[in-house]
Structure 1
Amino acid sequence: MRNRLNISTKLIRGLFTRAFTSALVALPLSFANAGTADFITEDFVLSDTEKEKRVGEAYYRADQQWMVYQAEVADENPFYQIYLKHLDSGNIRRVSPGVGKTTCSWIHPSVNKVLFSSTHDDPDAKSKMTAELERRKSGERKSYAWDYDEHYDIYETDLEGNNIKNLTNVLGYDAEASWSPDGRHIAFASNRRAYTEELSEAEAELFKKDPSSMIDIYIMDADGSNVKRLTHTNVYDGGPFFSPDGKRIVWRRFSPNGREAEVYTMNIDGTDQKQITHLKALSWAPFYHPSNEYIIFSTNIHGHRNFELYIVDVNGEKEPVRVTDEAGFDGLPVFTPDGDYLTWTSDRVPTKKGHLFHGKWNHAQAMRSLSLERTD
């Protein structure tokens, strides 16, 4: 089990708001407790809305001393970079190189290392940054679409952003990585087989239309060795996270048309793949509660652009229960390692850009709502 540090509501609120007081005051109080009172209380904006243009995907080290996340900050780079925040001092530092695109960070449970995906070794990284800046200056608008850049590789670095090491170094999209609770393994998503293996004619045509179709879940040792493919489909399997006991992986699997996704779990060797949700909507970003009793995820079952947070028991035997109720995007939820708080990404700010929200989590209510109360 992970080391757990119990932090009081008063203390953790003080830690997170120390560096963000001005940003919090600037936001209307109507953003707090918006339909989340049963599960989330004392919620507030965790991002620095004056400096960070877009923020998302925050994750915690097991001792709850560090938080890693991605943010768009610098004017000279229009893409996300990876930042590390010390929760006691409030100090923030960038740990990615600052060039190219980055995504999907994680922090080692015990060793001073950060994991993230980046395209900074792409020879055209800087020219792509310039092109994106020019596109934005021109006022061109385009629908949001995730970029499965074949130059994404998975890197580790120390907490200062030094000693960066490429763990994958294979052409293809390698991203969405996380360490196991004991730090011995890394689960990740990759479409490398489209670049390294011979595809059938049908697969090649499918990949040309949709690069995500060849993305599968993989597992490897923490040093990048012993890579093993765990899923074998021609749809997008991605977003893997380990269960608190390190025995299973949760992820989301898209439908062939890309308009639906469901939450799945499996053993870390790829066996016992089990569908957990059956909502026939876009359900994704699943994450285990540290109790290992239930999984939180985001779904647009209430409307194409309205993503809300839901919880479901780990076996998928209960009906999923709604957690948030706010128009717009609520997604990428993560619990603190002690299970007492929830951090998630939401666009419920005036700019309608993604920012981090944080609140006290009601575990007892979650257990009751799913009829998982213990009687022994």
Structure 2
Amino acid sequence: MPGGKTPLALLLLLLAALFVACGGPPAEEPVPDERRVPRTYPPEPGEVHFGELTMLTDGGENAEAYFSFDGRKLVFQSTRPPFSCDQIFTIDVAGGEPRLISSGKGRTTCAYFLPGDERILYSSTHAAGDECPPVPDMSQGYVWPIYSSYDIYVRAADGSGEPQPLAPSPGYDAEATISPKGDRIVFTSTRDGDLDIYSMALDGTDVRRLTNEPGYDGGPFFSPDGSKIVYRAYHPSDPEELADYKRLLAQGLVRPTRLEIFVMDADGSNKRQVTHLGAASFAPFFHPSGEKIIFSSNYGDPKGREFNLFMINVDGTGLEQITFSDGFDGFPMFSPDGEWFVFCSNRHNAKRGETNIFVTRWREGGA
């Protein structure tokens, strides 16, 4: 994606993680990058919460970068040579060569470190075949694919051994993250016929359904104390919209153009809507205080092309714009100690379609 304005379809294509690996080097070998990073940049005017920005990747499409429990590494998905679609990599926060973790087969997404940082979970379609699942037909408007071949796997953080399935079931299983307490996993699944959020123990047992309202509930993350879950949702209330949602879901598709941010208790109780922006708001994550939520949205752009980061109080008050860069800023996350912040952006990219990982020291209160 260029540094300037990017077509909405291309931005949403990034969000859908529509890229798949088609073979590559063994997991034990790091993937070389001829354009060495990290490089540093100042924040854009108005980005008062950011210190100096460090770009950790340079080239390809890099997204969903999440800290290890010790805060020293990031795990992320990337489309980069020799792969034509997303695979899972790790990288040191201080910089260095990305290391391939996934098998290089099928499409992968949504990786997260397990407690102790010796294992990583992620979703993959590789059991259904080495090749990429097909890109959806956009003749029905912009849609995301909900691949029924996605299952959750666990693999050693150095890429050794075979990926082991975790709580497999028919249908889509992805978008998994882990409580900072290290006791539960939350994920999105169609195992009961709709896109809903579930929790389970770290070994894949004790699966519990947390949402049940018709529509898409997904992208869950725990609060710092593990007591709450923040997520994105689309709950169509109009009968025609609901019928359209169900029709697309039966085809393994969902239309993501309107998403709001919700919060619930970790057991699925006390659900409440946080945002009422009428936009495509996604990738929410709790502020270290547990009292605010940061997320990405195209709110405020009449054409819906620019995605910036926003922060809001859990009670829905105090909306604040955090980033002011043309194009796309998304997938925000705070480090476990709350001192550092990571996000993905197409700022400073060299080629159209590139999105890179940036880390910075977080400045509370804009100090």
TM-score (norm 2): 0.78
- Give the greater-gyration-radius structure (CA): 1
Q: Which one of the candidate residues 117, 121, 133 is aligned to 2:123?
A: 117
Do structure 1's residue 73 and structure 2's residue 114 form an aligned pair? no
Q: Which residue of 2 aligns with 1:146?
A: 144
Measured in 2, the distance between the counterparts of 1:141 and 1:278 equals 29
Instruction: Return closer, same or farther for 1:230/1:152 CA change in 2, 3 Å cut-off.
Output: same
Identity, in percent, stands at 36
Cα separation, 2, equivalents of 1:33 and 1:142: 39
Residues in 1 aligned to 2:235 and 2:366: alpha-carbon distance in whole angstroms: 32
- Which runs of 5 or more residues in structure 1 are unaligned? 1-18, 195-213, 367-376
Give me the CA root mean square deviation. 2.6
Query: What secondary structure is seen at the aligned counterpart in 1 of 2:294?
Result: strand
Secondary structure of the residue that 2:360 maps to in structure 1? strand
**Residue 315 of structure 1 aligns to which amino acid in structure 2?**
D
Say if 2:49 and 2:362, in contact at 8 Å, map to a contact too.
Answer: yes
Matching of residue 224 in structure 1 with residue 204 in structure 2: yes
1:142 and 1:36 mapped to 2: Cα distance?
38
Q: Choose which of 92, 99, 104 in structure 1 pairs with 2:110.
A: 104
Give the drift of 1:88: 5.5
**Runs in 1 of length 4+ with deviation above 6 angstroms?**
140-144
TM-score by length of 1: 0.76
Residue in 2 that maps onto 1:201: none
Deviation of 1:92 after TM superposition, in Å, equals 3.0
What is the alpha-carbon distance in structure 2 between the residues aligned to residue 166 and residue 103 of structure 1?
14
Q: Secondary structure at the match of 1:33?
A: coil
**C-alpha distance in 2 between matches for 1:83 and 1:227:** 27
Q: Which whole-Å CA distance do the structure 1 matches of 2:224 and 2:125 have between them? A: 30
Deviation, 1:112, is 1.0
Residue 321 of structure 1 corresponds to 320
Match of 1:369? Answer: none
- Indicate how the Cα distance of structure 1 residues 46 and 309 shifts in structure 2: closer, same or farther if over 3 A, else same: same
The separation in 2 between residues aligned to 1:141 and 1:272, in whole angstroms, is: 39
One-letter amino acid of the structure 1 residue matched with residue 107 of structure 2: K
TM-superposed deviation, 1:36: 4.3
- Given candidates 271, 276, 279, the residue that maps to 1:278 is 276
Per the TM alignment, residue 240 of structure 1 is displaced from its structure 2 partner at its CA by 0.3
Structure showing the higher helix proportion among its residues: 1
The higher relative CO (CA closer than 8 Å, separation ≥ 6) is in: 2
Change (3 A) 1:259 1:72: closer
The 10-residue stretch of structure 1 (244-253 or 291-300) with the greater mean CA deviation from structure 2: 291-300
CA distance in 2, matches of 1:20, 1:296: 33
The CA distance in 2 between the partners of 1:96 and 1:215, in whole Å, is 25
Q: What does 1:237-248 align with in structure 2 at a 5 Å threshold?
A: 237-248=217-228
For residues 124-149 of structure 1, what are the alpha-carbon distances to aligned partners after superposition, in whole Å with 9 as ceiling and x for unaligned?
A: x32x37x77xx9xxxx9999753211
CA distance in 1 between partners of 2:34 and 2:310 (Å): 28
Alignment of 1:359-370 (within 5 A): 359-365=360-366
**Distance in 2 separating the partners of 1:185 and 1:20:** 39
